[in-house]
Amino acid sequence: MFDTLIANGMVVDGTGRLRYEADLGISGGKIAAIGKLEDSEAARVIDATGLIVAPGFIDMHTHSDLSLLDDPGGESKAHQGVTTEVTGNCGESPFPVGPGPIRAMELAPGSTIVEDWTDLDGWANRMNSNGISINVAPQVGHSAVRKAVGLTEDRRPTEDELREMRRLVAESIEQGAFSFSTGLTVWPSMFGDTDEVAALAEAASGFENAFYVSHARLWAGNHVKAVEEAIEIGRRAGLPVQYSHMAIIDPRAYGTGQDMVGPIERARAQGLDVTYDMYPYTAAGSHLSQNVPTWLQAGGNDAMVQRLRDPEQRRRALEETKLGHFGGLPWKFDTIVISYLQTEENQGLIGKTVDEIAREREEDPHETYLWLIEVEENHVGAVVHNRVESDIRFFMSHPQAMIGSDGNAISPTGVSAGERPHPRYYGTYPRILGQYVREQSLISLETAVHKMAGLPADRLGLRDRGRVEEGLIADLAVFDPATVIDRATFEEPHQLAAGVPHVLVNGELIVHNGNHTGARPGRVLRRGA
């Protein structure tokens, strides 16, 4: 007698092995049996004829640390078959929280969350008590650690600050964080040099399965050196390395993907464990402030806004902004599309490019760019079209690539409904399964599921998820290989994916017959648990 019987499905088990036909019996939240189970009894039977039964997808790169408190159903991800969100990426995590007024992580516009925690345990208790539909695997972020000790300026830490930051990293890892992450083009992680980052990463090295995650210094002409620095930090710290959202954003380097993965291949040949994640779109999502001079960002939002309101500093910021961004990349303002804004009076600018807004204001687009940051007090984001399809295909097909959306778990009717987020929030996994597997045959279905589930589980050290195997947790995605596809677009992103009729988390259905059940069986996972 099973709680749930998934009958007549084709199993793709997450290991990369060929699919096979079997029934799955689920009891007590686990996969109790796999085989011919037609004579078994079950409280619920799901007919999976013509469907693929796969391990639930583990989104290796998300920023759902707080969005799941606002939108606990996580519909944008649940309907893709995602059952676990890996959070704390790009150096940003909601913990640790220091005694000062600066938040560890910014709340989304419209959020009503009251932050009442100081560490991973407190945040996890809040998530679990609130209830979430999908699991969360947290990481601790460099920016959060720097903020916790008040180190928000462009300088090296004192001995005392470094000692306290190392303690905070170790404490977070001990409480269950899976890794230490950086955001080396994001304030204030960007101010940490290689020595600082390596010293902090080393604080995690004594913990089983801990690793280092790098949102690297992808400045102009630095795309290969960015990968090399990430590997060097891992080498010094004695940790495996996960390189975040692999991409080439410098037009002069398009088509040179082999140069970027070369350091990874050489490191692996030397015995170092280095992998990366990527997403299947030719556009990024970003805060506008990530592209302005670093001195302007020192001290955080309030300090930056005050500098922009000072005529002399505004003039300096404008002059330096005109020199390019990310260390000299030429601006293409017609490719920067505003996705969210804070103020009510500027909501009509969402969906317009910076170039269009500048023409409406009859001013230089560099000035418009800084004006948007100032008037919105840096609560402004954009979708940036800055990649090419050939690079996406190359990075996806590489053996060390796993999938990470870089998107949040949100709801079409939640606090983000008025924004125009990147479609990766809603479409990453079905896009790969529909476009790159079914339509283009770039990679096989078995390989895709391995990149979406088995590889991330291995990286995280999750022994009981990421595969379809007896005795493992029943995190499962049941999808139609003939119809699965993304429907979210850049113009209309709040569209749920198609072709994923059933999703189970910890053995409980969160999507059934294409509808979200409202169930909240997810929980915060802990490293080593």
Does residue 434 lie in a domain region? yes
Question: Containing domain of residue 392, as a range?
Answer: 55-282+387-516
Does residue 123 lie in a domain region? yes
| Model confidence pLDDT, tens digit, residues 396-451 | 999 999 999 999 999 999 999 999 999 999 999 999 999 999 999 999 999 999 99
pLDDT band at residue 53 using 50, 70 and 90 as cut-offs:
very high
Q: Residue 497 has what pLDDT?
A: 98
One-character DSSP codes across 438-489? IIT-SS-HHHHHIIIIIHHHHHHT-TTSSS--TTSB--EEEE-TTT-B----
The one-letter amino acid at 435: Q
Nearest CA to 92 among 66, 116, 54, 58? 66
Q: Are 486 and 497 in contact (CB under 8 A)?
A: yes
Mean pLDDT of the chain: 97
Residues 116, 238 within the same domain:
yes
Nearest CA to 66 among 125, 111, 133, 118? 111
Burial label for 389, CB within 10 Å (0-12, 13-18, 19+), is exposed
Final residue in a domain of this structure, among 385, 401, 428: 385
Q: How many domains does the chain have?
A: 2
Average pLDDT (81-101) is 97
Does residue 27 lie in a domain region? no
| Model confidence pLDDT, tens digit, residues 193-239 | 999 999 999 999 999 999 999 999 999 999 999 999 999 999 999 99
Does residue 255 lie in a domain region? yes
Residues 117, 192 within the same domain:
yes
Q: What is the CA radius of gyration of the chain?
A: 22
Does residue 32 lie in a domain region? no
| Model confidence pLDDT, tens digit, residues 468-492 | 999 999 999 999 999 999 999 999 9
Residues 316, 399 within the same domain:
no
Residues 336, 404 within the same domain:
no
Does residue 22 lie in a domain region? no
Question: What percent of the chain has a predicted confidence (pLDDT) above 70?
Answer: 100
Nearest CA to 4 among 516, 519, 442, 512? 512
Question: What CATH number should be reported for the domain holding residue 489?
Answer: 3.20.20.140
Residues 133, 148 within the same domain:
yes
Final residue in a domain of this structure, among 353, 385, 417: 385
Beta partners for residue 284, in sequence order: 384
Does residue 3 lie in a domain region? no
Residues 75, 103 within the same domain:
yes
Residues 343, 474 within the same domain:
no
Residues 177, 321 within the same domain:
no
Does residue 44 lie in a domain region? no
For residue 98, pLDDT over 90 is answered with yes
Nearest CA to 90 among 136, 141, 153, 138? 141
Residues 89, 217 within the same domain:
yes
Residues 347, 430 within the same domain:
no
Residues 381, 499 within the same domain:
no
Average pLDDT (504-526) is 98
pLDDT band at residue 110 using 50, 70 and 90 as cut-offs:
confident
Nearest CA to 410 among 23, 76, 26? 76
Final residue in a domain of this structure, among 343, 365, 385: 385
Residues 350, 483 within the same domain:
no
